[in-house]
Chains A and B, each alone.
Chain A
Amino acid sequence: MILWRQLNPEGRAGAVLLATLALMALLAPLIAPGDPLALAGEPMLRPFASASHPLGTDRLGRDVLSGLLYGTRTTLLVAFFSAAVSLSVGSAVGTLAGFLGGIADTVLMRITEAFQTVPGFLLALAAISVTGPSIPTMIFAISLGTWTQAARVTRAEVLSLRERDFVAAARTLGMRPLEIAFREILPNAFGPTASLAAISVAAAILIEAALSFLGFGDPNRVTWGSMIAEGRTVLRAAPYLSIVPGLALVVTVLSVHLLGRGLSKTERLQP
């Protein structure tokens, strides 16, 4: 509640949108019961033409609305988990590098740079084609390319924090170095990293959609990317099949961005 009052209007708008999406994901089985991949009706029904399929059906007669709702699940699941993984891995690596310095810093930062030189999407593509598509491998593959930013931001923050007096005080208290790094420095360095979260989540959503679009998603789950890919073959005849999941993607990424911007302007997260 305190956070809500501190949020600016765009942050609030983002939060509301995101909460709606999360609700959609959670309530999917209630709003649209049954398998979203089931051939539920007449193929290629236009949106708003039938009460039982308000958003129409695709080439095989699958309900677009239920695909959209279940797609929210996949998207949010993959996006938030991969952002969480990349933030925690990235900040751990960054803290270690910044706090230990010396050879450890050099080695860790060279590894980070090695990952940064390859575009994150290509890393994800390579990882998925080796491991095969499923939700956990998708999360792993996306995190592979996105943890480096968090690592760099955290390291920069740690470098300035470790010279502060409270660190010296912790040292004189007899705390062990790793304890200082993770219990004293990391929580203080986490603010700027957390504001990266929004970018990470948005990037993860887009990478996930692109992978599914290219056919590297789990074929037994609905995702927005795969819906767009399937709609693409009938783009001229039934554009709504690509537009509906495309709009969903836009709204999701937008809401995450708005919330992220709102959060980064609140004082609590300022360093």
Chain B
Amino acid sequence: MSRILLNRRAFLKATASVGAMLVLPDFALAQAAPPAKGGRLVVAADSEPANLNPAIVASNGVFFVASKVIEPLAEQSYDGKDGLSPRLALSWEGSDDGRTATFKLREGVTWHDGKPFTSADVAFSALEVWKKLQNLGRVVFKNLESVETPDDHTAIFKFSQPTPFQLIRNALPVVTSVVPKHIYEGTDIAKNPANQKLVGTGPFKFGEYKPGEYFLLKRNDAYWRQGEPLLDEIVYQVLPDRAAAGNALEAEQIQLAAFSAVPLADLDRISRVPGLKVYSNGYEGLTYQLIVEINHRRKELADIRVRQALAHAIDHDFVVRTIFLGYAKSSTGPVPAYDKTFYEPDVTKYAFDPAKAEALLDEAGYKRGADGNRFKLKLLPAPFFNETKQFGDYLRQALAKVGIDAQVISNDTPAHLKAVYTDHDFDITVATPVYRSDPAISTTILLESGLPAGVPFSNQYGYANADVDRLIKEAASTVDADKRASLYKTLQKTVADDLPLINVAEFSFITVARDNVQNVSDNPRWAVSSWANVGLKE
């Protein structure tokens, strides 16, 4: 079982405050309203990333811990302008020709080691880390040529090709984690020890990491926002077993479990436990898409009628209700409905209709054989989530109903990635790409052709459509925001007609926290934001 982190000091403090409440009940009541300062928040963590540097590995597993230590230029927000709120940058502006982007940086910010934060750090991070090493930055900052720093608090990004500022802006929270130049300069950045012992500007300093046990973050007393952070410490208790998180919450060993660490099937019960609160918001900026990837090299699947038949065979309603227990939405295409800027609702839809699927398969010339089957498919469900495996089981049955014999092949994560994205040894898969606020960040890569084998979560499906490629290319260099959005809307229509892959549902995650944890889920990327304003009520 997990170890309970309770040291002598915390114990004394807890008993001391009980004492205070007994002696001074009126005082305690009067103090109840404002968020309390101090305390330790214990959080369930299910993975221990080998490289914790979010400037290099922009993934949610890394951000979950690292976003408290290393900050981006801006964070997503429910009510801010363009859906952003300032962090290390105070304001941002793009030029009309798409070749420059100017950032005014916050003054009076210091790194955890006491050195001042300046525009040189941003220039270094952008050119040496985001553009060269980061999984997403390589796409977004592909044409970044130089970063000018006229003074310590201005950074001007220069691009060799017109780059839509809309894209840069949407990518800010994810790709712009700033790392200190004085620690990384002149070293092998990918192997720098600071990738484990992080140094940043954030509300928490990196304290300690015990493999298999916990990450410890400590309060940064010199944080730039007065009065924050509220917490003294955050402990990420490693609980790889999903069933353990729910029990640990009930036993008050942990106070918060994000990223659906509590299984969906347990939520109904957990939500009725007194003292626990379930949050289904706070993940809008991290929408995962449940899709069926299709290998277009298979002659049957290269036929559009067969792909349409697959789409008609899947009951979105069942997926949302039974597999996700309602914590998901049916999807119509590669852009999720919550993204008001880019979403195109008026596309070809494929209603659940097994009879029509069978008719389409017959028409394509694949009649049922003597054993009732038309043809066989290799189905590789990604092992990332319980739900992907369950959907794999469902898909096998759904296809059996229309006469397609899908054989499930289960792999662990490395074997799955290799089979699908390097060896192309699959017919259909179940996958979960992430939509990150702009189609150009990690969505169009699923559709464009000509990518080298081995790039995970990209078009390794042998799919090539000149119209799709042209639209993606044009949008990538269209600076005008409205024109760019309309290009992506056209793209969604084309893709819905041609079905290179089948979008089934959009899902995000659930946070369960004890009810004394305050300011949970107050921005669209809450779990991977800084938590400077999170407090523990007495």
Contacts and interface: CB of A to CB of B under 8 A. Distances in A.
Contacts of A220: 396, 407-408
Interface in B224-266: 242-243, 246, 263, 265-266
Interface string A209-244: 000000100011000000000001111111000000
A2 B207 CA distance: 75
A35 to B, nearest CB: 7
Contacts of A59: 265, 322, 390
B463 interface: no
Interface string B255-289: 00000000101101100000000000000000000
Interface stretch (A14-22, A37-45, A74-82): A37-45
A61 interface: yes
Interface in A1-51: 35, 37-39, 43
B397 interface: yes
A234 B394 contact: no
Nearest to A38: B397
Given A59-B322, A61-B322, A237 B407 contact: no
A85 B394 CA distance: 36
Contacts of A38: 397, 400
B242 A233 contact: yes
Contacts of B394: 39, 60
Contacts of A132: 409
A23 B243 CA distance: 36
A233 B409 contact: no
A37 B243 contact: no
A38 B407 CA distance: 14
B410 A215 contact: yes
A43 B266 contact: no
A234 B269 CA distance: 10
Which of A215, A219, A234 gathers the greatest number of chain B CB atoms within 10 Å? A219
Nearest to B247: A236
Nearest to B410: A219
Given A59-B390, A215-B410, A220-B408, A35 B266 contact: no
Given A37-B396, A60-B393, A236 B409 contact: no
B409 A219 contact: yes
Max count, chain B CB within 10 A of own CB: residue among A38, A61, A232, A236: A236
A232 B386 CA distance: 12
Nearest to B400: A35
Given A60-B323, A219-B409, A219-B410, A37 B265 contact: no
A233 B245 CA distance: 12
B57 to A, nearest CB: 26
Interface string B385-404: 01000101110110010000
Main secondary structure of the interface of A (DSSP, over half): loop
Interface residues of B, number: 23
Given A60-B322, A233-B242, A236-B246, A37 B266 contact: no
A134 to B, nearest CB: 11
A238 B400 CA distance: 28
Given A43-B322, A233-B243, A233-B386, A219 B408 contact: yes
Nearest to B323: A60
Given A59-B322, A60-B323, A234 B410 contact: no
Contacts of B243: 232-233, 235
A133 B243 CA distance: 26
A236 B242 CA distance: 13
Contacts of B393: 37, 60, 219
Nearest to A43: B322
A232 B396 CA distance: 22
A234 B322 CA distance: 13
A141 to B, nearest CB: 16
A215 B389 CA distance: 11
Contacts of A39: 394, 397
Contacts of A43: 322
A19 to B, nearest CB: 32
A122 B322 CA distance: 36
B266 A234 contact: yes
Interface in A234-271: 234-238
B396 A233 contact: no
Contacts of B408: 219-220
Given A60-B390, A232-B243, A237 B265 contact: yes
A60 B323 CA distance: 7
Nearest to A129: B412
Contacts of B386: 233
A115 B394 CA distance: 40
Contacts of B268: 237
A133 B409 CA distance: 9
Interface string A53-81: 00000011100000000000000000000
Given A43-B322, A59-B390, A60-B390, A237 B266 contact: yes
Given A59-B390, A60-B390, A234 B396 contact: no
Contacts of B400: 35, 38
Contacts of A238: 265
B322 A236 contact: no
Contacts of A219: 392-393, 408-410
A220 B380 CA distance: 12
B96 to A, nearest CB: 53
Which among A61, A132, A237 has the highest number of chain B CB atoms within 10 Å?
A: A237
A219 B378 CA distance: 12
B164 to A, nearest CB: 43
A61 B394 CA distance: 10
Contacts of A35: 397, 400
Contacts of B409: 132, 219
B320 to A, nearest CB: 13
Contacts of B410: 133, 215, 219
Best-surrounded residue of A43, A60, A238 (most CB of chain B within 10 A):
A60
8 contacts: A37-B393, A37-B396, A39-B394, A132-B409, A232-B243, A233-B243, A233-B265, A238-B265
Interface of B: 242-243, 246, 263, 265-266, 268-269, 322-323, 383, 386, 390, 392-394, 396-397, 400, 407-410
7 nearest A-B pairs in the assembled complex, by CB-CB distance: A219-B408, A234-B265, A219-B410, A233-B263, A39-B397, A43-B322, A220-B408
Interface of A: 35, 37-39, 43, 59-61, 132-133, 215, 219-220, 232-238
Given A233-B243, A234-B265, 12 more contacts: A39-B394, A43-B322, A59-B265, A60-B390, A215-B410, A220-B396, A233-B263, A234-B263, A234-B266, A235-B243, A236-B269, A237-B268
